Structure 1
């Protein structure tokens, strides 16, 4: 039997899980541990080691080891390791290959497919790099899911009859995510997500290392260059001290020699929990911003959240727990091991993909963590300024989704437009991430403002279909961006694009809606003056909803228009000729 495994590819540690016998379960590695350090090393003889052996090597030969390379995913930065150059996906693939081999040994058969988790705030390039790492490790990546979503799946699987609003606070070794969600009747609905890709437990350790070095009269960057063995061993000591703060008010850090050795009479520096909290104050403040953003995006107050769930080993730190307790006025929950909950949830997602009977009553919805849009230009007096960003699908929109906006030409006789497609939140495109482009030609020549419609359709696989059309001619232009979906074959992408058609909604093309619009336009001059403004405003909202293409919004607005007509004594029926309005 072949299994689809779930993998939590972490900054500090990674793990693998599988769903079998109706439950998610962790897979132990060759050393008997469920956690595999995300560290890669090269021995003197050229042998590559991964996990615990590499972590030990990092202390004695830091120049032969690489760690925290998850932070480089999606960038062009490489890592030099024992005279060789590696990209972040290549290093990550070595960790994934190790996990895959451990899973094959434990399950007694080949493992070729996986669900891999990423921080919710990973951008398109970072997700693409993660999938590439999976491919290099010999895995077909069935789905990339957000880490907080995976954690919620673990809680939802074990409490699927609950009806509550949860917020997941996920602080790992290198990334921070916040996700607000609703659980009801076996459904997990993601409401909003926020986070920071360069904030995690490693940063808190670095603050402690810098504090100790400062007392020795050294700066961290200088010491890393001049005495790398000292810093490598000191970082291990500071990590131990950081963990001691879980139960102790005072921790002792032993200072190693320049060669990294720890002598019996090594200098000892005492650091209090209060002092650690003080030097970590700026990092703690950075935790508050994404939490506030997730709540604001959802229109939810801290007192409206039923449970606050901690995920990620770094949430064990007292300063993190105290901050969360202060923000929400209650004790956060940690029912499942915060180091393991994401991996278990990835296995639940794998079971959902495999249609396992044990999860057939569970449904999960997710959101688009970033805004998707195009570059536009603005007119200021007689000057045209380009480089502005206009959203089409806003962040935290439930996916799959299809949205449409209308744009116009900027100059007279303009017959083509090059749509530049971006992802991000900034007002200017230079600060966002370019995903692709689409050229629209054959626009009828005319004055500025000749319209084209632009529709974005986005799904759980990360496929973005961009469609542009010219209303006057009906000509359409389409591009499919599959940056997230490299694991999919051409046939699978085609099938996914076909499924996107079911997501699209074109109310303006429905004859019933066209007929209702024309009817109201015909009779609007016949209603009493006192009532005309209300009908005008409702009709304008109806036209806007037809253009937006949001099913729920359109249904509500259309019903509202019918209610206004009824209040005026005008009964409308979609299926028969309409009488003139009563005067």
Structure 2
């Protein structure tokens, strides 16, 4: 069996970490750099594919064959060109992951075949599945996906197990923004709520500077840069993009930055470029709307957590873009005196992923470490025929698992046939917030037949949604009168995970051959007994982890109460008694939080 690593697969940069002597440690690339650009480039001259820093160094001179910021398109049914070949976004990500895997194997001196990979908290089921597929293509088994802010909080929590505090993670990365509220209580890290924007990040700040550069060029030369005859637009764009990113970073620690691009085009037979300054004040005016747009997700996350600004004890700012001076000012304004710098903004997410990997493999003792709970980030439900404002419509969205439900979770609702003699039904699966199903995102569908012919409303169908820690949804439909079942592990219909067939020549690792494990032990280092074979095990595992951790911290009398309920709960899971599992799970959870 190979090693396991934690990976922060970012929009602009990625980081890798592993557990060494019980502690997370960053893995460098072959040049000793800890931060690795999420860039892929094909060097036609040498017929080689590069990823990471080597590809980053080619982003201007080889702009036509370089792909950057592909994470923004993860899960989309679109293709990009590399050396004339079409690739899906998750295939490009697989090239990056394959390179990261190679760095880890060089460092660890052995095979790496598994990874915990982080994603933005607001990634959809579709995007998470695409991320897992990218790992599989890169030769990595990905049984655990963890949200980036949660991973950052784990990097903090591992050194503060005895603390009790409300934590807010403000995560502004290269392409996404997340804010997550968590409670740390005696080693339990409980996610309260997450909000954010998957289309806001450092690249948008770069774009504001790029627009400024183009405007200044127009002022100086009286012509739009890209309208100049014979211009190499791809290389010019690459030069401007690189300079915008550099000066943005420069302005995080100084008041004035110089923009110097010696050659952009040839005008009237003369080479022309741009040499101008950009002050921090001007940069902040250009990007004010971007910074201000992060206020609302912070407010929404607090409201969903039933907390006020004053209730937050610790604020962790992570993601490279959180270093922007105006961002730091905003966070300090919202939470004066509460911003902590205990963790490295660039490395915290990868460190947290490694901690989760260490717990999973018992490299970190889960009973002496963190137990992490998480939340569902979307309403999940189905389309039904129902009454809306006095009208009967067949487009009503009925929520089965509400947003911010603790996961893993399983919920069932009963529905009835709506027409006489109805013998089949299409079960549509949606995520979203609108009362009309068609206004939400349809992520899957499947059919259920064999319903006994009967008058409308007499045949009942139970729909069960089971949502796991990786954000994977399984839907089971049961005809109550016959017990017949139809089920589906939901893979988003917006993206059927597929391959172009062009990837193999670009990979440094073979795609993983074995199927991913679905064992209930895949998310924790807790030792599971006979109950683990139950299909209900994954639903109650969080409660069992909390209970087993609590046993070390309570007196004998309370411990006996916990053990009694714990044993009953495990037996109910073995017996597949779903109603009793729900009842005992609730009782045990209430007891744990009373003690």
Take 2:115 and 2:35, find their aligned partners in 1: how far apart are those partners?
A: 17
Take 2:339 and 2:12, find their aligned partners in 1: how far apart are those partners?
A: 23
Over 3 Å counting, the alpha-carbon distance change for 1:427 and 1:109 in structure 2 is same
Please point out which of 455, 465, 474 is paired with 1:446.
Answer: 455
- 8 Å CA contact 2:475–2:490 kept in 1: the answer is no
Q: CA deviation at 1:221?
A: 8.2
C-alpha root-mean-square deviation of aligned residues, in Å? 3.3
Take 2:586 and 2:16, find their aligned partners in 1: how far apart are those partners?
A: 44
2:87 equivalent in structure 1: 86
2:27 equivalent in structure 1: 27
Please point out which of 308, 314, 319 is paired with 1:307.
Answer: 314
- Structure 2 residue 251 is the aligned partner of structure 1 residue 242: no
TM-score, length of structure 1 as denominator length? 0.81
- 8 Å CA contact 1:9–1:118 kept in 2: the answer is yes
Greater displacement, 241-250 / 412-421: 412-421
1:5 equivalent in structure 2: 5
Over 3 Å counting, the alpha-carbon distance change for 1:155 and 1:504 in structure 2 is closer
Compare CA radii of gyration and give the structure with the larger one. Answer: 1
Q: CA deviation at 1:129?
A: 1.1
Over 3 Å counting, the alpha-carbon distance change for 1:199 and 1:225 in structure 2 is farther
TM-score, length of structure 2 as denominator length? 0.79
Take 1:326 and 1:548, find their aligned partners in 2: how far apart are those partners?
A: 48
Q: CA deviation at 1:273?
A: 1.7
Over 3 Å counting, the alpha-carbon distance change for 1:438 and 1:461 in structure 2 is farther
Segments of 5+ residues of structure 1 without an aligned counterpart are 506-545, 560-583
- Structure 2 residue 469 is the aligned partner of structure 1 residue 434: no
- Structure 2 residue 433 is the aligned partner of structure 1 residue 425: yes
SS in 2 for 1:166: strand
2:536 equivalent in structure 1: 501
- 8 Å CA contact 2:40–2:51 kept in 1: the answer is yes
Over 3 Å counting, the alpha-carbon distance change for 1:465 and 1:438 in structure 2 is farther
1:71 equivalent in structure 2: 72
- Structure 2 residue 342 is the aligned partner of structure 1 residue 342: no
The equivalences for 1:178-217 within 5 A come to 178-217=179-218
- 8 Å CA contact 1:227–1:258 kept in 2: the answer is no
Per-residue Cα deviation, 1:386-414 (whole angstroms, up to 9, x for no partner): 23321111122111112122323333443
- 8 Å CA contact 2:143–2:517 kept in 1: the answer is no
Please point out which of 289, 293, 305 is paired with 2:300.
Answer: 293
Over 3 Å counting, the alpha-carbon distance change for 1:229 and 1:110 in structure 2 is same
Greater displacement, 276-285 / 442-451: 442-451
SS in 2 for 1:120: coil
Greater displacement, 309-318 / 368-377: 368-377
Take 1:274 and 1:281, find their aligned partners in 2: how far apart are those partners?
A: 10
Q: CA deviation at 1:153?
A: 1.1
Over 3 Å counting, the alpha-carbon distance change for 1:90 and 1:421 in structure 2 is same
1:577 equivalent in structure 2: none
The equivalences for 1:127-276 within 5 A come to 127-217=128-218, 227-259=233-265, 267-276=274-283
Q: CA deviation at 1:98?
A: 1.0
Segments of 5+ residues of structure 2 without an aligned counterpart are 498-511, 522-531, 541-577
- Structure 2 residue 376 is the aligned partner of structure 1 residue 368: yes
Take 2:411 and 2:513, find their aligned partners in 1: how far apart are those partners?
A: 24
2:414 equivalent in structure 1: 406
Take 2:164 and 2:389, find their aligned partners in 1: how far apart are those partners?
A: 54
Per-residue Cα deviation, 1:45-93 (whole angstroms, up to 9, x for no partner): 3211111121121112211100000111101111112322222112111
Take 2:487 and 2:231, find their aligned partners in 1: how far apart are those partners?
A: 48
Take 2:224 and 2:121, find their aligned partners in 1: how far apart are those partners?
A: 33
Take 1:339 and 1:57, find their aligned partners in 2: how far apart are those partners?
A: 23
Over 3 Å counting, the alpha-carbon distance change for 1:393 and 1:550 in structure 2 is farther
- 8 Å CA contact 1:189–1:364 kept in 2: the answer is yes
Take 1:246 and 1:463, find their aligned partners in 2: how far apart are those partners?
A: 39
- 8 Å CA contact 1:14–1:35 kept in 2: the answer is yes
Please point out which of 366, 374, 377 is paired with 2:385.
Answer: 377
1:466 equivalent in structure 2: 475
- 8 Å CA contact 1:371–1:424 kept in 2: the answer is yes
Take 1:449 and 1:295, find their aligned partners in 2: how far apart are those partners?
A: 44
- 8 Å CA contact 2:408–2:467 kept in 1: the answer is yes
1:416 equivalent in structure 2: 424
